[in-house]
Chains A and B, each alone.
Chain A
Amino acid sequence: MDSYVCPASREELASLLKLQRRMGYKYVGLCVESGLGNKDIAALARSLSIKVILARVLCAERPGEAKKLLREGEGAELIIGRPGSIEAYRFMSRDSRFKIIEVSPSMIKHIDRGEAGLLTIGGGYLGFDLKRLINSPSNVSVLKAFFSRVFKWSIPFKLYSSATNVFEVWHPKHVYFLAKSMGFQGRKALEGLSPIGMVNQLYSGGRDE
């Protein structure tokens, strides 16, 4: 599962989903801001036998702001929190409405036992945006720190591409070899691409229906 992609046009979405299906993805989280009609997305997903989930990224500096955004931001099945401060980070980890809490490089040091406990309460996942590596490959050290911390505290995590076009998509083998080159088990890293259990699929196609 790629939890978050955000293509600009319908053509871009079609090529993105087609490539992701070829790569073996069965679920894709699509940003609600894409501006595409639900019927359009449903038809496309059905034709490509891929399940699409509407996802939204909420950026908040303070817990109050996060609450406000949650009230306003309806219509998304998968909410990804992007905290700007440690307070917002802890709040999002505790709140069950945030399925994924994106970790920025400055937040890496706050992944600890306490965070693992909060995520157990909230039932969410820690997330890492792989687009950071494309923008700056030196962020590999951030991913390494992320892996070492989530593996140490057995914290559930997700990796996603935030792809806007086909050239930003991540193949599972990319993630596997990246983890292996860092000295981690590749299979453990692939857990970050497994589907999120508690999400209901909005649009589904293929044999399941």
Chain B
Amino acid sequence: MNEEILLIIVLILLAYFIARSFMIEEKIRLLRENIANMHKSEEKEKIQLRKRKRYVVFHVISNQPLTRVEEINSIFSNALRSCGGELLIGECRPQVVYFSSRRSRGILRTYHDCYEKVIACLSTVRCQGDRKILIIPVKTTGTLKKARWYLFDKNLAR
């Protein structure tokens, strides 16, 4: 009788330890999953930190000929400085990446969250010293490749 009771107790203890080992394994698995998820979210944050760019194709009408990218860049930065201040320039970092004097068209690079502000600011600027200027936004794209395509498009009412 005593032996049977002892056997039952041993069996119960054995079952307890087996169950506990399974629980520990499950906990380790959950812990591993959590660590993996943490790594994934960190990667996501890294992606979000990199701001998306926007390329604005613009058409320029001026009473004096414009030839160099630096010239256009200085006109744009002066215009934005007068309209939105240094803060806007620092936030949006607008930069003319290409300008064709033959077509009077160029590509302006800025960020996706502030290209509207940049265009709005440029719309109010009509003169720079003696130079009269009208900047018309033709198209906004997400890639430089697509923006280049619109340089050849003659339509202003897109």
A residues sitting closer than 8 Å to B (CB atoms) are 19, 22-24, 133-134, 137, 140, 165-174, 177-178, 180-182
With known contacts A137-B82, A167-B61, A174–B132 Cβ distance under 8 A: no
Looking across the interface, which residue of chain A has its beta carbon closest to that of B63?
Answer: A167
A178 to B116, CA, bound (A): 8
Secondary structure call for the A interface: helix
Q: In the assembled complex, which residues on chain B have CB atoms less than 8 Å from the CB atom of A174?
A: 119-120, 123, 136-137
* Cβ–Cβ contact A140 & B61, under 8 A: no
Contacts of B132 in A (CB 8 A): 165, 167
A168 closest partner in B (C-beta): B126
- The verdict on A177 contacting B119 (CB below 8 Å), with A19-B61, A171-B137 known, is yes
CB nearest to A175 among chain B residues? B123
Binding site for A on B (CB under 8 A): 61, 63, 82-83, 116-117, 119-121, 123-127, 132-134, 136-137, 155-157
How far is it, in angstroms, between the C-alpha of A169 and the C-alpha of B124 when the chains are bound? 11
Measured between alpha carbons, how far is A33 from B120 in the docked complex, in Å? 31
How far apart are the CA atoms of A140 and B120 in the complex, in Å?
10
Determine if A181 and B116 form an interchain contact, defined as CB atoms under 8 angstroms apart.
yes
Contacts of B124 in A (CB 8 A): 133-134, 137, 140, 178
Q: Which residues of B contact A24 (CB under 8 A)?
A: 156-157
Additional A-B contacts beyond A24-B157, A173-B123, A182-B120 (18; CB < 8 A) = A22-B155, A134-B126, A137-B124, A165-B132, A167-B126, A167-B127, A167-B134, A168-B126, A169-B134, A170-B123, A173-B137, A174-B119, A174-B123, A177-B119, A177-B120, A177-B137, A178-B124, A180-B120
Nearest Cβ distance between residue B133 and chain A, in whole angstroms? 7
Please give, as numbers and ranges, the residues of chain A lying within 8 Å of B117 by CB-CB distance.
181
Q: A140-B124, A177-B119 are in contact. Are A22 and B134 (CB under 8 A)?
A: no
Let me know if B156 and A171 touch, CB within 8 A. Answer: yes
Please determine whether A166 and B126 come into contact, CB atoms closer than 8 angstroms. Answer: no
Q: Which residue of B lies closest to A177 (CB)?
A: B119
